């Protein structure tokens, strides 16, 4: 009898953990980057910043959500003037990954026109979340 109760508690805790993880996946939040690392330049990113905003995606080679995120970000940027996307291979830029506290791929950073990190999301964001995050970054 005790074994069944323990099993049920374990299943319940697993379900709650999975729901919490799914709820946070892809949501934009304030940046958790250490002070002094909040502004990225074209030299840091290997590409020019957008006139109004830049969407920076950290991805890895075998990450299927990364491909879906790249398609989404490219589509959003194509429809908005002055917004560009930059894709960074996390494995090839470990120094930047550590500096910016990137814990998983895909991670998307939204930069304002000056390169300051406005918000970030880990996981696959939804289109409306990307647009809302850009709305915060673009005055």
**Nearest-angstrom CA–CA distance, 47 and 84:** 10
What is the pTM assigned to this prediction?
Answer: 0.77
Are 76 and 128 spatial neighbours (Cβ–Cβ below 8 Å)? no
Tell me, what's the pLDDT at 37? Answer: 55
Architecture of domain 26-137: 3-Layer(aba) Sandwich (3.40)
Tell me, what's the pLDDT at 2? Answer: 84
Residue 55: strand pairing partners: 85, 110
Q: 11: which residues sit within 8 A by CB, 6+ positions away?
A: none
| Token couple for 22 | 């799914």
* DSSP alpha helix (H) spans, 25-125: 42-45, 64-79, 94-99
Tell me, what's the pLDDT at 35? Answer: 46
**Nearest-angstrom CA–CA distance, 34 and 117:** 11
Rg for the chain (alpha carbons), in Å? 17
Q: Strand, helix or coil at 97?
A: helix
Which secondary-structure segment (H or E) carries 52? none
Give every residue of the chain whose pLDDT is below 70, as ranges. Answer: 7, 17-37
Tell me, what's the pLDDT at 29? Answer: 60
């Amino acid at each position: 009898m005790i074994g069944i109760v323990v099993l049920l508690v374990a299943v319940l805790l697993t379900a709650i953990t999975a729901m919490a993880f799914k709820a946070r996946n892809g949501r934009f939040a304030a940046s958790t980057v250490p002070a002094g690392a909040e502004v990225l330049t074209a030299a840091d990113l290997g590409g020019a910043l957008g006139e109004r905003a830049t969407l920076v995606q950290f991805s890895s080679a075998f990450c299927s959500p990364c491909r879906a995120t790249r398609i989404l970000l490219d589509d959003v940027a194509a429809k908005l003037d002055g917004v560009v996307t930059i894709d960074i291979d996390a494995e090839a830029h470990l120094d930047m990954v550590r500096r910016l506290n990137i814990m998983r791929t895909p991670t998307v950073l939204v930069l304002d026109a000056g390169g300051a990190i406005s918000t970030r999301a880990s996981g696959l964001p939804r289109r409306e979340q990307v647009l809302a995050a850009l709305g915060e970054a673009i005055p």
